Every structure is written in C-alpha cells, then in structure tokens.
Amino acid sequence: MKKSLVLLTLLVVIVAAVALVACNPNDGENLDPNAVTIMGKETDLNKPYMTEIFEHYTTVTGKKLNIIKVEDNKFEDAAVARMADPAKAPDILLHFNNADLSRFNVAENFEYLTDAEWVSDLTDSAATYCRDAAGNILGLPFWESSVSGCYYNKKLFDEYGLVAATNQNEFRNLLNQLKEVVDVPLLWPAEDCTWMPQFALDPIFADDPTLLDKLNANQIKYADIPAVKRMINWIHTADNSNWFGNAALNTGWDDMAGQLASGKAAMVFIWDTWFYTDFSGVTYTKDDFALMPIFMNTLSDGSGTYEGGNLNMMMVNKNSTKKKDALAFLNFCAQPENYNVAFKGIATVSVFKQEVSNVQSHMVTDMQASINALERPSTASIKIIGYSADDVMAAINKLLRGECSVDECIAQMDSARIARAKALGAAGF
C-alpha cells in the first residue's frame, strides 16, 4: 500500500514536470545558434505581414530565423528576464515604444538606429513614434499603422436619419438619440480593452507638452489637469446615461465584433485595421462603418481627436553577438521591395514613404481631411512615465462599478502611475 502510494506520487510529479516543460515555450526550444533570434508577443509575431517577412527573408537570403513567441500576458516579464540573461537574450526584440520599454534599460541594451539609411524612408508620423525623448530612433517600425477614432455604423445611422457628430455637443446628442434606437450607442468593452482612455488623453499632452513634462517630473498630477477630470466626468456621465449600454463592465474584446456586426452597438473607439483583421459580419460589414473623431470632452472647444498609429519596433540587442546579422535583417525589412511584399493588401496607413502595396481603408480616406486636422500621435501611453492602460482602466472600472467618485478615480490613476514611476526609478518620484 505504502509502496503504491509512493509510486503514484512519483508518477504525478513526473507528469506534472512534463506538462510544465511542454507548456513553457522558452524551455526546450531548438534554436539555431547561427540564426538571428527574434522575440515578441505570440499575437504580434503571428501577424500575416510578420510571418510573410520572415519567410521572405529566409527565401531570399537562405538564412534562418529563430522566432520566440511568448504568450501576450507573459511577454513583458519574460522579455525583461531574457534581456537580463546574455545567454538567452534575443538579438531582436519586437516591442512598442511605450512606457513598458523603460523596464529594459534601453540605452544599455538596445542599439540606437538614428543613423540607419531607412530612417529617411519613414513617414514623419512613424519616425516621430520611434524616437525617444532625446530624438534617438529606437527601432524599425515594421508594423501596421492605423487611425484610432470613433468608428460608427453609418448604414445604421442612415436607417435612423442620423449623421456623425462634429463636436462634443453633437456627440452627446447623438448618443442620446442612439440610445432610443440601439442597445449600445457606444461600445465600451471595459473588461479588457484598456486602450480607450488613452485616445482622449493624447491631445491633452500632445497639444501642451509642458503638461507632460510636469507630469513626468512629478510636479503635477492628473488631478491637477482639468481636461483629465472632464474626461473622467464624461465617462461617468456616459455610464450613468447608459450610453455604454448596461453591460459595459461585462463586455470585452471577444464581444466587440459581434455587437457591432449585429447592430446592437452603433459606435466604438477602435482603429481601422481592426475591421480588416478582427471584424466580420453579415448584417453589417466593415464597409458599413465610417469614422468620426473621438469625443471624450478633453478638448475645451468641443472638438474631437484621432490617435495616430502605435508601431511595434524591431529593436536590436546592443550586446548581441549577432548584432550585425540583426542589423542586416532590419535593413532587409526596410527595403521597399521587401516591405511591399510583406504589407501587400494589408489595410494600413503607410509607415514607409514608398509603401504602396498596402490598402487604405475607406473609413480613413473618407475622413482624411478631418484626420489631418485632428489626429494626435499616441502620446499618453508612450510618453507618460508610469502610465499603464490597465491601471487607468482599473480605476475607471471602479468608478463604473460605483465604488468610487470621479476624484477618487483620478486619485487612483495618479497613485498607480506614481507607484509604477517609482518602481522604474524615474527622477522626481
């Protein structure tokens, strides 16, 4: 009996160990020691243009690539850990130029690419996105670029004789009118779509860089910025007015396409590429949608805003033994004949000036003039030290649950931001 118990326990331990090994993509990986290793989120590395450029590279150069795909929610910690271990550090890290990047000690770990030949081929917006505070180009923005705004079901609007709003008041009226005819005037997937608040924060700090500087120097807080309070107030009003429907807290990424495609929801804050990569519908297709600015009351004149593209950058490990090969791979990707292969047919705003194989969404082209006038680069999530979309959304969700007031929500946003800034060792915190 006792012997059987011991054997059973041993068997369980072995099975558990095997399962753990099987579940960890980093262990047991069969990497080609001569190939350049690229590490990134699983979702990101599975993008069609990414797989295309990897295959294209191998095809053209005959060189292999080691691709390390990490589960999205484990990526940041895994990447930091790998970069800290020279034996396991990737040669190229695929990462957004956002606040999380500060965890990597960029100056010591990554090669500045400001002098690369391909920099001149980047659109101004793309180049701006890839620079750090000192103006250094941190990586090659080999990524789709899209315009984030308020995408609405134009066909549904026409059915109800409604038109897009051009200012905050019209947007308010529009939401009230929509409330009478649809379940969800504005889809607010609070469960896991944490990007929405940053769209409204962008113009605050993009239009007045001094506010950003003071915030990052810990001289002011969100609570000191009226526009932030107007935004949180608007979210609170929107929730109280049922502009988000009555199930925002239980709505997430997986619900978005269905609700928009069925007409249950009329509008959403999203980017155009999403309609090409993640949306499909029968009642309403992506062609039925149109774009208007985002109105979250952060702009005092009642105007709206769009957010420019957030670009994943290929950053080269400064300390890699295959740094040369990695730089050569970036050059390969930045060639028009190559990136046009990869982005062929992809709905994206051009990142490279000579990028012509991609397609522009009608939603963007129809509103190009408005976009030109109101678009702001992604600022909040990138430039605010300690900014975490999750933190902001957590505070807002607490507000939506009625667990805190507007001021307490803002205080929690500040508290979380300052805590992260301190954890990063930011000056002034």
Partner 1 sequence: MAKWLKILISVFTVLLVVGVVVAMLVGYFGFISQNMQDDSERHLVEIYEQVNQSFNSFISRNWGILSSCSDYYTVLKQNNDPELNTKFKEFVLGDEENHLFGKKHDVDFEEFYFLDPDRKYYALSDNSTGHFESGDLSDMIANNQKILTRDTPIRDSKPAVDPDSPGSTEESAGQASEVIMFAIPLGTGYTYNGFSFTAVGISYTNAKLAAKLDAVAFKNSEGFSIANSYIIQPNDDGDVLLSPNVGGDVTRKYLKYMKGVLRDDPDTFARLREGVKSIKKTEANPHPHGYLSYTTKDTDGKNVTHCVIYMPIDYGDYVLISNVPQTAVSQGFLQAQTATMRVMLIIFSLIIAVLLVVLIMRIISQSRQSKKELLYREKMFDVLSNNVNDIFLMLDPATETVDYISPNIERLLGIKVKTAKENIRTMATCAVDYNIIIPNEELQSLPMGESRSWECEYMHQATGERRWYRVTIYHMNIQKMEKYVIVMSDRTLDKQLNAQLEEALNAAKSANEAKSNFLSNMSHDIRTPMNAIVGFSVLLEHNADDADAVREYTRKIMASSHHLLSLINDVLDMSKIESGKTSLNVERFSLPDLLEELNIIVMPQAKAKDQEFNIRTNGTPPDEIMGDRLRLNQILLNLLSNAVKYTPDGGKIDFTVQELEESAQFTKLRFIVKDNGIGMSEDYLKEIFQPFSRETNSVVNKIQGTGLGMAITKNLVDLMGGIIEVESEPGKGSTFTVELSFALVQEQSQDAWFSHKITRMLVADDEEEICLNIRDMMHDTGIDVSYVTDGAAAVEAAVRAHNHNSDFNVILLDWKMPGMDGVETARRIREQVGEDVPILVLTSYDWSDIEAEARAAGINAFMPKPFFTSTFFQTIKPLFNEPAEAAPEQPANDALSGKLFLVAEDNELNAEILTEMMDMEGARCEVAKNGKIAVEMFLRSEPGYYDMILMDVQMPVMNGYEATKTIRASEHPDAAEIPIVAMTANTFAEDVQTALNAGMNAHLAKPIDMEIVRKTVAQLLEKRQKGESK
* Rounded Cα gap, residues 119 and 132, in angstroms: 14
The minimum distance between CB 157 and partner 1, in angstroms, equals: 9
Is 163 among the residues that bind partner 1 (CB under 8 A)? yes
Stretch that binds partner 1, among 22-30, 121-129, 131-139, 168-176 (CB under 8 A): 168-176
Is 422 among the residues that bind partner 1 (CB under 8 A)? no
The minimum distance between CB 297 and partner 1, in angstroms, equals: 13
Q: Which residue, 164 or 413, is less far from partner 1 as judged by CB?
A: 164
HSE at residue 417, side-chain half, CA atoms within 13 A, is 27
Q: Which residue, 161 or 425, is less far from partner 1 as judged by CB?
A: 161
Assess contact for 32 and 66: CB atoms under 8 A: yes
Asked whether the CA dihedral 120, 125, 126, 127 is positive or negative, the reply is positive
Q: Which residue, 69 or 172, is less far from partner 1 as judged by CB?
A: 172
Is 164 among the residues that bind partner 1 (CB under 8 A)? yes
Q: Among residues 184, 102, 72, which one has the least CA distance to residue 427?
A: 102
- Kindly tell me which residue out of 41, 56, 172, 230 binds partner 1, with binding defined by CB under 8 A: 172
Assess contact for 186 and 304: CB atoms under 8 A: no
Stretch that binds partner 1, among 26-34, 242-250, 322-330, 349-357 (CB under 8 A): 242-250
* Rounded Cα gap, residues 124 and 111, in angstroms: 21
Outline where DSSP puts E strands in 257-302: 265-271, 289-292
Contact letters for partner 1, residues 335-374 (x by CB under 8 A): ----------------------------------x-----
**Residue labelled with tokens 């947007």:** 171
Is 167 among the residues that bind partner 1 (CB under 8 A)? yes
- Kindly tell me which residue out of 59, 246, 283, 285 binds partner 1, with binding defined by CB under 8 A: 246
The minimum distance between CB 302 and partner 1, in angstroms, equals: 9
* Rounded Cα gap, residues 227 and 137, in angstroms: 31
Is 233 among the residues that bind partner 1 (CB under 8 A)? no
Q: Which residue, 136 or 167, is less far from partner 1 as judged by CB?
A: 167
Helix (H) or strand (E) holding 326: helix 323-333
Contact letters for partner 1, residues 185-224 (x by CB under 8 A): ----------------------------------------
Is 267 among the residues that bind partner 1 (CB under 8 A)? no
The minimum distance between CB 161 and partner 1, in angstroms, equals: 2
- Kindly tell me which residue out of 166, 277, 335, 340 binds partner 1, with binding defined by CB under 8 A: 166
Measured between its terminal Cα atoms, the distance across the chain in Å is 61
Other Cβ atoms closer than 10 A to 384: 22
Contacts 24+ apart (CB under 8 A), 221-224: 221/410, 221/414, 221/418, 222/410, 222/413, 222/414, 222/417, 223/407, 223/410, 223/411, 223/414
Residue 98: C-alpha distances to residues 101, 254, 291, 386 (Å): 6, 24, 25, 10
Assess contact for 240 and 178: CB atoms under 8 A: no
Stretch that binds partner 1, among 16-24, 55-63, 114-122, 157-165 (CB under 8 A): 157-165
Angle at 273 between CA 248 and CA 232, to 5 degrees: 35
Is 165 among the residues that bind partner 1 (CB under 8 A)? yes
Stretch that binds partner 1, among 81-89, 123-131, 178-186, 251-259 (CB under 8 A): 178-186
Is 300 among the residues that bind partner 1 (CB under 8 A)? no
Is 160 among the residues that bind partner 1 (CB under 8 A)? yes
- Which residues are near partner 1 by CB under 8 A? 159-167, 169-174, 176-177, 179-181, 183, 242, 245-246, 369
